[in-house]
Amino acid sequence: MAFTTLRSGIRAYTDSVVNRFIGGQLLEPNLNYWRNIFFAYICAILLPVMFIPLIPGLFLAFKQGFYGLIAADLIIIGLFISITFAPRLTIQTRKVIFVTGLYFITIVLLLYLGSYGPGLTFLYAITVIVVLITRKELAMLTVGLNLLICAGIAIALWNGFRFPYYHYHDYSEADRMVMSWLAISSFGLIFSFLAAVVIPKLFEGLQTIIDSQKLLERKLQSMLREVETKNIELEEFAYTASHDLKEPLRMVRSFMELLKKNYSSKLDEKAGRYIHFAVDGAERMGKLIDDLLHYSRVGRIHTEIRTINLGNLLHQVSEKLKAEKKPGTIEIKIGEMPEIEGVRVTIEMLFNNLISNAVKYQPKNQIPKITVESFTSEKYHHFRVSDNGIGIPEEYQNEIFQLFKRLHTDEEYKGSGLGLAICKKIVTQHGGHIGVISRPGEGSTFEFTLKKEIREYET
């Protein structure tokens, strides 16, 4: 409990610092954005952690009488507190103050402790930090500053300056101190130079990857928008075309029926058969247009998502289908069904199409037996609609979900070839997938999923 509270407190503290530094000014994350995030975390973590070495350091400085070092430590603490908590500073200003403060405490440490204190470590760390939080040009500038500081201290040592913390016994020892300083500082300068040159190469590579990714994302979004536009145009065309086709088709059918009614006695058997074919063709075309209208309306007319009691809905679908047949000629078993989120009209259409197909595609004189089952997983509702029908050959099991795809003639089984295409569209727009498992003569099982949580209707 205490650990969880502590962790939550630390998280809240670091988040507040990051928000103060970033604010929301950078809306598009890029490499510079992550540099700023990194800098914010450095300041957030450094401020409390710096007290760990600071307390014994202040004690030692007080014991040695290094009051200037104590004053410098207190100044740097105040500076870092200001950087971390000042509300209106820009992040660039914070960076300048931060690096200036680091140089200030580094020079003080070097003047008091020389190579025996953390001053040299701070000096070289500045270059690495600047590389990580700013541009490489500024990192190279720190290499030059480091060189000037090291050279200045070497010249001061050569001209008689002595580190207060180090006790010199004779001149030769002081002379060796100059050479030692030059050797140690030169290695550090090489490290600073390497950091300033090599680390930016990594960042340049990362920036290239980020830019490429952003370009691909923009292209993908553009293509998706184009596809969505084309889909909308296609659906609108299908709706308009099918709607406009119904009126002339209705006229053709009406006049053919009038012709049959008023002139059947004057026409021979062959002419009557032609009229029958024309009327039957008009009826099938009308059914095809109706299904095309249904397909174009899916996801366009009805889009209101609500909670659906699927058990009640399937009971209504089942009773409606049974009412169209003689009693006892259909067996429909419905398992336990969940409540789902979806568009009621299209979900009803989905189950109605699947169960209607199961009833229709049967061998002659066989009672259709249909079973509807469901189970749930973490993100999806899973459904199975099984029948004892004629089955589907394996080579056609993917094609049957395409528009106008039919495996049988209209004389064998009437239909438009749009029913399963409508089912696939409904399932897809509810975030799921549909497929079939079947063998000829052994029935079919249609399996599909629907997302548990749908925030908006997918197009």
Residue pair 310/329 in contact (Cβ under 8 Å)? The answer is: no
Give the bridge partners for 332, in sequence order.
370
Q: Which residues contact 431 (CB under 8 A, 6 or more apart)?
A: 450, 451, 454, 458
Mean pLDDT over residues 250-278, rounded? 75
Inter-residue long-range contacts of 399-407, CB under 8 Å, 24+ positions, other chains counted: 400/436, 401/434, 403/295
Mean pLDDT over residues 339-353, rounded? 88
**Which pLDDT tens digit goes with each residue over 119-137?**
788 888 888 888 888 877 7
Mean pLDDT over residues 62-85, rounded? 85
Confidence of residue 445 (pLDDT cuts 50, 70, 90): very high
User: What is the reported pLDDT for 170?
Assistant: 46
Q: Which region among 50-59, 91-100, 371-380 has the lowest average model confidence (pLDDT)?
A: 50-59
Among 108, 111, 79, residue whose Cα is nearest residue 95: 79
pLDDT at 351 over 80: yes
User: What is the reported pLDDT for 459?
Assistant: 46
**Which pLDDT tens digit goes with each residue over 188-199?**
666 666 666 666
pLDDT at 158 over 80: no
The angle that helices 31-49 and 91-113 make with each other, rounded to 10 degrees, is 50
pLDDT at 391 over 70: yes
Give the bridge partners for 380, in sequence order.
451
pLDDT at 302 over 60: no
pLDDT at 212 over 70: yes
| Distance (Å, whole) CA 446 – CA 423 | 11
Mean pLDDT over residues 274-298, rounded? 71
pLDDT at 169 over 50: no
| Distance (Å, whole) CA 326 – CA 279 | 27
pLDDT at 237 over 80: no
pLDDT at 168 over 70: no
Tokens of 447: 């399996």
* Better-predicted residue by pLDDT, 268 or 369: 369
Provide the pairing of β-strand 331-334 with 369-376: parallel
Residue pair 272/264 in contact (Cβ under 8 Å)? The answer is: yes
**Most confident listed range (4-18, 161-175, 241-255):** 4-18
Mean pLDDT over residues 282-298, rounded? 69
Q: Which region among 60-74, 191-205, 335-349, 388-402 has the lowest average model confidence (pLDDT)?
A: 191-205
pLDDT at 449 over 80: yes
User: What is the reported pLDDT for 438?
Assistant: 87
pLDDT at 297 over 70: no
| Distance (Å, whole) CA 141 – CA 397 | 68
Among 245, 250, 255, residue whose Cα is nearest residue 275: 255
Give the bridge partners for 386, in sequence order.
371, 445
* Better-predicted residue by pLDDT, 412 or 170: 412
* Domain chopping of the chain, boundaries: 2-202, 304-459
Measured between alpha carbons, how far is residue 406 from residues 222, 238, 332, 416 in Å? Answer: 35, 20, 25, 8
- Tokens 């990857």 correspond to 209
Mean pLDDT over residues 330-348, rounded? 88
* Better-predicted residue by pLDDT, 296 or 351: 351
pLDDT at 397 over 50: yes
- Residue 350 neighbours by CB distance under 10 Å: 26
pLDDT at 217 over 90: no
Q: What is the mean pLDDT of the chain?
A: 79
Residue pair 216/207 in contact (Cβ under 8 Å)? The answer is: no
With helix as H, strand as E and coil as C, how does the chain read?
CHHHHHHHHHHHHHHHHHHHHHCCCCCCCCHHHHHHHHHHHHHHHHHHHCHHHHHHHHHHHHHHCCHHHHHHHHHHHHHHHHHHHCCCCCHHHHHHHHHHHHHHHHHHHHHHHHHHCCHHHHHHHHHHHHHHHCCHHHHHHHHHHHHHHHHHHHHHHHCCCCCCCCCCCCHHHHHHHHHHHHHHHHHHHHHHHHHHHHHHHHHHHHHHHHHHHHHHHHHHHHHHHHHHHHHHHHHHHHHHHHHHHHHHHHHHHHHHHHHHHHHHHHCCHHHHHHHHHHHHHHHHHHHHHHHHHHHHHECCCECCCEEEEHHHHHHHHHHHHHHCCCCCCCEEEECCCCEEEECHHHHHHHHHHHHHHHHHCCCCCCCCEEEEEEEECCCEEEEEEECCCCCCCHHHCCHHHCCCCCCCCCCCCCCCCCHHHHHHHHHHHCCCCEEEEECCCCCEEEEEEEECCCCCCCC
User: What is the reported pLDDT for 27?
Assistant: 52
Which CATH code is given to the segment(s) 304-459? 3.30.565.10
pLDDT at 383 over 60: yes
Tokens of 329: 């000629």
| Distance (Å, whole) CA 418 – CA 403 | 6
Question: For the chain, what percent of residues have pLDDT higher than 90?
Answer: 7
Provide the pairing of β-strand 380-386 with 444-451: antiparallel
Among 319, 321, 352, 320, residue whose Cα is nearest residue 426: 352
**Which pLDDT tens digit goes with each residue over 305-320?**
888 899 999 998 888 8
Confidence of residue 447 (pLDDT cuts 50, 70, 90): very high
Tokens of 116: 């025996």
Mean pLDDT over residues 159-178, rounded? 58
